[in-house]
Structure formats: structure tokens, C-alpha cells
A and B are shown apart, each in its own frame.
Chain A
Amino acid sequence: MVYDKESEVFSIQTINLTKRFAKKKHRGVFGFLRKNQSKNKHEENTDVTVALDKVNIEIRPGELFGLLGPNGSGKTTMIKCLSTILIPDEGTVIVNGFDVQKETSMVRASLGMVVGGERTLYWKLTARDNLMYFASLYKMQRRYAKKRVEELLETLQLSDRADERLEDYSTGMRQKVAIARALLHDPPILLLDEPTLGLDPNFSRQIRSQIRELSEKHGKTVLLTTHYMDEADQLCDRVAFINNGNIVAVDTPNRLKAMVKEREIVEVAVYRPPADIESQIRSLLPDAEVIKLIPGDEDEGNPSRIKIIGGTAEEHMGTIIDALRQKNIRIGSLNVGVPTLEDVFIKLTGAKLTEGGMQ
């Protein structure tokens, strides 16, 4: 499909969106007694973090758009700026044709969001009570709201337990209620921030299938943030990579993966690797384009992974196995694989990827 950019109307458009956060420096209990050396007292006492740096994104109506990045990359800040919870410092944000700073009420009515998941509901209330309360905040007509609540409870298979307090629900069920809340007023745009985080595989599958259905059958525009690359690959029409508040790339998952398609990829799962393993392997494999250690959580049964992109996989495998054995590093598995979005992200962000960010 060819898009005429000049005449195109976007569901979401950000132009040079910038958001900074100022954090006060802690100067200790008696810090106020210390003499301030700086002429600018405010600068002396604050650190400024740029959460979003001139971000430009255009999302088309009906598109399922993924925003991918490690923790702290700016995904949630982006969602909060779009949903009017945060006021941008610079730039323009247009949602459903409305400016977030000038037409706040219309933007809010155009959006449904799932941010923060199950924690953002009233656990002492039932699912039905929660939904009726939020229907009221969205100024829905009473009669319509009741009908809509029943409809959503039915669709999300919550009808049987609709009158139980959420404190008796499982995490997955509460997440379903959070999704029902986002859909209450039938908004054209959905902002979903890590909707499957912490869910078991069964509930994750159900939620993913709901998201796909909302986009394909109901024509909703969906902005999905996730750090699960497989989820984005399966669901999204287009994906944007965000790192340190910057958009690194935007394209379809297939086109993004084509960037590393020609390269061979080796992934080795290892236990307790030394901190300098990257540089050690790099010295052994000079032809590899990217070597990246992705820390795992061994207590949870997830070993760390070493990704090697580029070069000849066959040669690399032997060298790595020998090197790891020599250093008594336990190998969990070794795969030569097809490229994933994660590989593209590693290639694009390289050294910029913060440790512990990618999971």
C-alpha cells in the first residue's frame, strides 16, 4: 500500500516530542549547610534526564504499532505524554486529530489505555463495580454503560465472576478487567503498555489474541509497548525501536529483520559468565559484527545468552565452545538461528543498549 504522506491523517502523530525529568540531587542530611558553588542554584541541585528526545512517530488508523525498547528507554513516558498524564516539554502531539495540550478532553475520550496493569484497579471492588465506576468517569450514558459492561465481561469470559472482588482474581483475570476498562467507551485508539507482563503463557496467548482481534476485526489503532520481541514480531504491523529516548528505527518486522538476514547468528546460553566475556570472545572472533551478552536470571532458570551476529557461524561455534570450556563456563545450549527483532535491536543500538535492559 502506498501512502501519500502529505494528505494522510494519522491516529497518532508526534513531532519533535521531548520530555525531560529533573531530579533533585541528594546532598545528605546536612547538605543545606554546604556552600553552593554554582551561580545557578537550580542547576546545582538537579540532574536532568532526557526521557524522550525529539521523537517523531506517525501511526496510521487501524495500525497495530509496536514500540520496543529496554526498561527506561522512554516507552511509558511516551504513553503518558499521549494520554495527557504528562505534559511534554517541547513538540506537538496529535491524537485522533486533537492536540494533547489544547484539546485534552477530546484526546482523553479518544483513548483507552492499559498502563501498569492489574495494580491500577480497585481490588476491593468487583469487576462490574470497577467498570461501572470508570464508565462514569468517561461520562458514558448510564444505560449504555451497563449494556457495554455486560458485553465486555462476556467477551473476556469474566461474566461468571463479575461480582467477585478483584482481590480474589488471578493476575491474568485482573489484566483482562484492565483491558475491558480500556475498551469501555469504545475508543478508536488503544495504548497498551506491556499488557502481557507477568502473565502465564495461557493468559498471554489469550491477551495477544484479543489485541489482534481488536486491530483486525474492530479497526482499532493500537500502540503496543513491550520488551518481548517475539510478541511484537507476531502482532505488529510496524515496529519502532526506542533507546535512551531516541527512535532508532521504524519499519515492518520483516523489513527490520532483513537488515540482519544475510548475517549468521549464533546464540549460546551460558551459566555465570565473567563480566568481561564479551571482550574475551571479541578478541577470538574478529569477523563478528556484534557480540552481546544478554544477562539472564539463573535463579528463575533463565541462563545468560551470548549473541554473535555476522561472520561464519560454523567457525564461530567451535571457537566459542573451546573458549568457554577452557574457562570452565557451563554451556546450556547453542543455536544457530534465524534473525529475530532482538538481533536487529542489538545490531542497531550496539553499545547504546543498557545492561540489564533487554530481557
Chain B
Amino acid sequence: MITLFGKRMRIFRPRSIWLRKIVQGGFFVLIALIAINHTLAESGQAIPLLANASLHAVCPFGGVVTLYQFATLGTFVQKIHQSSFVLMIISLLLAILFGPVFCGWVCPLGTIQEWVSGFGRKLFRRRFNHFVPARLDGVLRFLRYGVLAWVLYMTAVTGTLIFATYDPYLALFNFWTSEVSITGVAILGFTLGLSLLVERPWCKYACPYGALLGLTNLFRVFSIRRNESTCKADGACSIMCPMNIPVDSVTVVRDHQCISCLECTSEAICPVAKTVQFSTRGVQ
């Protein structure tokens, strides 16, 4: 940090939150290993000391879809276990405190979309993540609430894990098993292809769990806050935001699509210290 013209500025600053990428990679590898070990366990060749739970057992959305059946019958939807319920509660607690950090820091599907988007950014540079017309983009972002409502309704009516047929997350870590449908693999492929043009397309437009966690942005404890008095209005925060949120036009980010990645903060892209922060109250 140096003081220039009376302002404290950082000369050598990271362009990204590297720690988030490490955490994301860690969770990706963990889930991949668990999924592989689950397959090995079915043939009696499980790796010792490593969990071999099914993918359904380590997905918090399973807890959400089984809520209705649990409330009415006291049982879980087929293939869903108690661990999904526990993860749902933990993720909800995290979201109330910090927003959808599960999406931005944990979810392996979000991670692999970001990895593919790295190539897209190199290919299309400034055009990347700006292909979808703003008006259409704004409407499409509410599509995921429709997906959420449909999944909850259909699961309640049929008592089966209806979303498994379409779930790209299941396809990602189970594509080598017979449990995965062609539809799921096709949606995964389409999502990854689209990630070359748009950052996190599944999260923005279709993810039902992201839709649910996104609602916590309206009341979460820690939020992204911008100090107008020190802001240089260079727009860097908005340009960097993977979810295209106009951070530079608000003082507190309450957008339902924020994933708490911190890429817009003064710790990353914002050039002025203590201007865009992740805090509980307004930056002074």
C-alpha cells in the first residue's frame, strides 16, 4: 500500500480472489473422488478412508426437494438421505450469513463453468459475458425460479427425484454410470459450451438451488457494500462481476444473483482500498 495524493492505494494487488479458486478446486476434487469411490464401492473396491456416498447424499438440493415428502409422510424421496438435509441446513445458514457462498465457493458445477469460461475470456476478450442482450438477459434470469417451482411441484406430486433426469451436476460426476440420462449429459454439454460465451450460464438462468439461495441476498448479514465517497467510478467492479451485477451503481448489493465471490471488492479488482467491501454495515 502507498499513499498517493492523500489516498491509500495498492500498487501490486491480485486481480482475483486466488483463495476462492483453491477452495473451489478443493471441493471439486473432493466431490469427484467421492463419486469415483462410490462406483468402486459397488464392485467392492472402495478406496479406504475416503467417503463413498452417492452423489445425491452430498447434494444439499436433495434436502430441498424432499421437504414436502418429509413434512407430509416423514420419509425422504427415493435416493435422498439424511445427509442432504444436513447439508441443506448448513448451506442455508452460510447463505443467511454470507449470501450464496455455496454457489461461489463450493458448487463444483459453478467451478467447472468458471474453468471453461477462462478459455472463453481469452477467445472473446471484452465481448465475453456480454453476448446476451441486456433486456433478454434480465428476463432470462428469472427463469430459474420457474425451474425451482417446477422441480418442487413435480417431486412432491411424483415422489421421485424428477430433476435427476435433467441435472447437469449429476451428469458431471456420474457420466460413467447407467444412472445418468442422455438428457442430463446433453444439458451439461450445452452448459459447458455456453460457458465459452457467458460466465456461469447454468447459475444465471437455470439453477433451481441457486434461485433459492439467491433469495438470501435480500436479507443476508454480510453484503458487498460500496463507499461512494472514495469510489473512483471506474466501473471495474461491474466489469469484473461474473454475474454482471452493476456494483458501481449501488451502495449495497442486494441483487438476487450475487454469489459472494468477492471479485468486485477492494481486495481484488477495485483499485481503491476500503471502497468495495464485504461487510455488515455501510463502509465509512
* A and B assemble together: no
| Chain B residues proximal to chain A, CB less than 8 Å | none
| Chain A residues proximal to chain B, CB less than 8 Å | none
